[in-house]
Structure 1
Amino acid sequence: MTKLQTWLSGLLLAQLLIAAALFWGGLKPRQENQGLALLSFNAEQLERILISDGEHSVTLTKSGDDWRIPALQKLPADADKLESLLDKLHDLKSGWPVATTTSSHQRFEVAEDKFQRRLQLYQGDTLAGELYIGTASGFRQSHIRRAGDNAVYSAKLNSFDWPAKKQDWLDKSLLAVSKIKRIKGPDYQLKQQEPGWHFMATEDAEDPAPELNQEEARQLAAALRNLRVLAATDQAPDLQAAGTDVISLEVSGPQGHWRYRFINADGKYYVSRDDRETIFTLSQFDYDRIAAIDLNQLTEASPEAAEQSTETPEGKDDR
């Protein structure tokens, strides 16, 4: 009985050793496989990116340090958005494939003739990377396939982050001014001077400058710093049409001096700036908090004036 127990114990130990060897032997290639980069490219050396959804396509090109949209008057693309997405592409790992057959490409929409997105990265005329993005595989995850490879993977990538329309890549903040020192509106001039904003005296001014509402001035400056356009438009509004309002604004800062035109044409809002030929559409929210500001809104009535305006002088008939 003792010999049998010893023999069985030895057999069990041998089985455990074999199982451990198989486990660790299989784990190593798995770890190695999970560590493989799916795409190999240097983001700094990319010069052109083509994005297609099968119906629409857009090309982004690099000019110096800036990304531009050639089909949209070479306007700047949203560089922060693009660089963040390129980082995600660069960090993609192959992992274990979901499928490895060519027949699966159609099902997961990563085929050459059926895909949700196709990304082509160029370094000069050399194709540095090509990727197909297909159906969703989870929350903010998609099935993907590298061109020339039958394997389909699941990755933290969203096709909607890679739009195929030119307007979706426009840098919506291209007319914003980060540092503002002076603002000249239709009937006011402001300058920033510690501890806040002040009215600028004009040569023909006879009366002292009114008291400025600091909060209104700060909100106006913030609106210009955070100005975001909606889209570039090829259809310029008719500035001579009845009911069209055009408000001119000048903004100065350490980076330069700009002249804006804010336009309200038949309930549609536009903005242009003298350093660009393009006219952009604008939300009513942004239009109202910049173009609708005038001297009356910027003026803060003194407490004495406010008190006098609410009192009726003695002995005077209200009628």
Structure 2
Amino acid sequence: MNRTIKLLSVVLVVQIALAVVVWGTRSSTTVASHEALIPEAKKATEIVLEDPEEGRLTLRQKDGEWFLEDDTKADSNRVKRLLDTLSELTESFPVARSDDARNRFKVAEDEFRRKVTLRRGEDALATLLVGSSPAMGESHIRLADADAIYRAELPVYELPPDRSSWQAPEPEPEPEQQAGPESAPEPEQETSATAPEAEQDGGSDNA
């Protein structure tokens, strides 16, 4: 009896030890590293924004400026803000990793709300899938070559695939030169007494 109890105790201790090891390993794989999700985002020279229904839009950098596909000048400030936002995304605590979750959060290869592809020349930097919105101003995101699904401050409305949203604004017209204040008219000079008046004055003196 005592021997059986001891054996069961040993088995229980082993099971507890295994549970601790497995739990520790699982926890270490899901701890948020807070490293940059797309560390080379700012090096991109080409951005492709794709919507399953509205099509795609390509932005390319030339000589430090950004352009649309037909060489129409793009809003470089807005493009730079987008790259800043992408570079600030981090590997936070993943909300899911499974294949089913990809479809549920709309970050699957064949089901997404936006696909953002970054390239530098011919080299692919990253492909980011942007899906459902868990809260205002947030989206579920996943790198196409990774399993982890994150929750990030990247609203879909900041990734419109239409050219009007990215086209550079028209330059403001130069203000018209205002005319100076009108010069006041010169005062009329007082005229001297007329000759007849002078003669009358002289005649009155002779009288």
Moved over 4 A (4+): 28-32
Q: How does 1:298-309 map to 2 (within 5 A)?
A: none
3-state SS of 2:179 partner: strand
Task: Name the TM-score, length of structure 1 as normaliser.
Answer: 0.46
3-state SS of 1:138 partner: coil
Q: Give yes or no for the alignment of 1:148 onto 2:129.
A: no
| Structure 2 residues without counterparts, runs of 5 or longer | 1-23, 185-207
CA contact (8 A) 1:140 1:158 kept: yes
Per the alignment, residue 261 of structure 1 pairs with: none
Q: Give yes or no for the alignment of 1:39 onto 2:35.
A: no
Per the alignment, residue 73 of structure 2 pairs with: 76
Specify which structure has the higher proportion of helix. Answer: 2
Per the alignment, residue 58 of structure 1 pairs with: 57
Per the alignment, residue 125 of structure 1 pairs with: 122
Task: Name the TM-score, length of structure 2 as normaliser.
Answer: 0.69
Q: 1:160 and 1:166 mapped to 2: Cα distance?
A: 14
Structure number with the bigger relative contact order (C-alpha 8 A, sep ≥ 6) is: 2
3-state SS of 1:198 partner: coil
Q: How does 1:1-319 map to 2 (within 5 A)?
A: 33-43=32-42, 45-55=43-53, 56-70=55-69, 73-172=70-169, 174-176=170-172, 180=174, 183=176, 190=177, 197-198=178-179, 210=182
CA contact (8 A) 1:40 1:129 kept: no
Q: 1:122 and 1:165 mapped to 2: Cα distance?
A: 20
- Deviations 1:28-83 (Å, cap 9, x if unpaired)? 9699733221112151x32111000112100000011110011xx42211111111
Identical columns (%) = 26
* Higher CA-based Rg: 2
Distance 1:88 1:30, change over 3 A: farther
Q: 1:35 and 1:125 mapped to 2: Cα distance?
A: 29
Specify which structure has the higher proportion of strand. Answer: 1
Q: How far is 1:102 from its partner?
A: 1.0
Q: 1:153 and 1:117 mapped to 2: Cα distance?
A: 15
Q: CA RMSD in A?
A: 2.6
Q: 1:135 and 1:210 mapped to 2: Cα distance?
A: 65
The total of aligned residue pairs comes to 159
Distance 1:111 1:32, change over 3 A: closer
- Deviations 1:73-102 (Å, cap 9, x if unpaired)? 422111111111211110111111111001
3-state SS of 1:34 partner: coil
Q: 1:85 and 1:91 mapped to 2: Cα distance?
A: 10
Q: 1:121 and 1:198 mapped to 2: Cα distance?
A: 52
1:198 is matched by which residue type in structure 2?
A
Q: 1:106 and 1:137 mapped to 2: Cα distance?
A: 14
Q: 2:158 and 2:166 mapped to 1: Cα distance?
A: 10
- Deviations 1:114-138 (Å, cap 9, x if unpaired)? 1110000000011101100000011
